[in-house]
Each structure stands twice: as C-alpha cells, then as structure tokens.
Amino acid sequence: MVRSLSFLQLFVILAVGYIGGVLLYRGIPDADFSFIVQIYDSRAAQISSASMLIQLATVLSFYAAAFVLSISRRTRWSVMLVGALKAVLFGLASAHILAGGVNMLAYTGWWFPFKFLGTFLVLLFCWTLSPPFFTKRSPKRTQNLKVPLMIAGVGLLLFFADKAVYNLLGG
C-alpha cells in the first residue's frame, strides 16, 4: 500500500501542477508567457533556433536543482517543489502550444507524451532524493544515488528520443 500511495502522490502532483499551469495561462490572458515557455521548451514557444546544448541544459537543470536542494537537511523539504514547478511549466507550455494553433496530431502524438514522461521522471527523481514522510530512511544510512542517477539517465535518453522524433517529423 505504501508504494502505490507514493505513485498516487506523484500523479496527483503532476495533475495539479499541469492544471495549475493551464489555469495560470488562461487566468492572465494579457501576459506574455513566451519567455517562461521558452525556458521549458523552445519549440513550444515557436523558437526553433535554440541550440541543442541550451535545450539539454534546460532539461538537466531540473535534475541539478533537485540534487542541490537534496544535499542539505534544511532545503530537503523543497526538493519536490522542483518537480511541481516542472509540472506547472508543462501545463503552461501545453496551453501556450494549443493557443498558438499547433497541429493536434503533432501535439498528441509527439509533444505531450514526451513532455509528460519527462515531467514524471523529474518527479520520480525528486521523490527518490527526498522520499515522503512515511518512507523515511534510518538516520544511519547514507543516501544511495544509484536510482536517482539511473532515472536522470533515462530522462537524458528520453530527451534524445524526443529530438529524434521531432527531427523525423520534419521539425
């Protein structure tokens, strides 16, 4: 039960963050969110000139920020906020793309699945760095970085798969 509750918790954070991002975009119609969306994904802001290195740094920055926050006991509580921020940016970028009139087939077949999995991986990464209150580790054990590094590696592979599919579709 404890394990399934944890995954439910991650999906709730993902859903609430996504809906929060969409509501933020819809709630402030005069605001220009293109800079914030560009931070999340330059293709969502219709700026395809961003280099692959900048896009890779953007993806890795969420993993790096979560890891840095997990090092100290004083900031460990805020690790899940990095994942929640990624979920909000996911919803904001989705609303921005749909408002921009993107092809629905490209959105549902390419952009949404890759960004959904990428956001879930960041949430899972954050959860492994700072587990919920009911799965605390004993104070004697040190933090095992094997699982978080494996999740970050899968996130990196997902980034390159996203790029390959995007280029295959003529992006």
Q: Dump pLDDT digits (tens) for 97-145.
A: 888 877 787 788 888 999 999 999 999 999 888 765 545 555 555 667 8
Give the residue from 67, 69, 42, 92 showing the smallest Cα distance to 155. 67
pTM of the model: 0.85
At residue 137, the 3 state secondary structure works out as coil
Maximum CA extent, the chain: 54
| Phi, then psi, of 103 in degrees rounded to 5 | -60, 125
- Of the listed ranges 36-40, 54-58, 121-125, the least confidently predicted one is 36-40
For 28-145, where are the alpha helices, taking DSSP H only? 34-40, 52-71, 79-99, 104-106, 112-129
Rounded to whole angstroms, how far apart are CA atoms 113 and 34? 21
> What does the pLDDT average to over 146-155?
92
DSSP conformational letter for 131: -
Other C-beta atoms closer than 10 Å to the C-beta of 59 total: 21
User: If residue 30 lies in a helix (H) or strand (E), which one and from where to where?
Assistant: none
